[in-house]
Structure 1
Amino acid sequence: MNVDQLMRIIEAEHLPTPVVYGMGRLHLDAVVLERDGERWRVYLADERTQPFETTIRTFADEESALEHVLVKLREVEKSRRSLPPFSN
């Protein structure tokens, strides 16, 4: 899988858009993909847009990292659907 393929899946499944290599909107529960030299890092962002330490995963190749991004996006979306509607 490459970034273009990931984005097509995201669009088809109506998943939230991740932050990929600094592109995208950083917010609570955003799925983030970063590259650090020869490693890729995927995590969920907290309310201060910092990584939830327990969600940080590192990968030796981009394809595995992108597949993990997709898994996390599906988990986040499933979790959001299970919450009651927000009202003021």
Structure 2
Amino acid sequence: MNQERIYQVVFGPHISEKATIVAEDNSQYVFRVANDATKPEIRKAVEQLFDVKVESVRTLIQKGKTKRTQRGMGKRNDVKKAYVRLAAGQEIDFLAAE
């Protein structure tokens, strides 16, 4: 996988309360990914970016909220997230990766 495609697949970590709880308990990390990204692409991108061994990838599409605006009802964009489980003993330090 070339460098351009890696940065088109994985946008960055998704930081939330649930994501930090999952990271502490299960060695899982949550990433925001492109809507057209597949699980094998996400696996390769994370392995190449952070030099870790990925055990499994689970994805979901979070539907955008419907919000009322001055001009009627609007809708935020949908977001695809990937829960990436690393092999035993592996971890990602986001501060060192920059």
**Smaller-chain TM-score bracket:** under 0.3
- Name the TM-score, length of structure 2 as normaliser: 0.25
Q: Which has the higher contact order (CA 8 A, sep 6+)?
A: 2
Tell me which structure has the larger Cα radius of gyration. Answer: 2
- Name the TM-score, length of structure 1 as normaliser: 0.27
Q: Tell me which protein shows more strand as a share of its residues.
A: 2
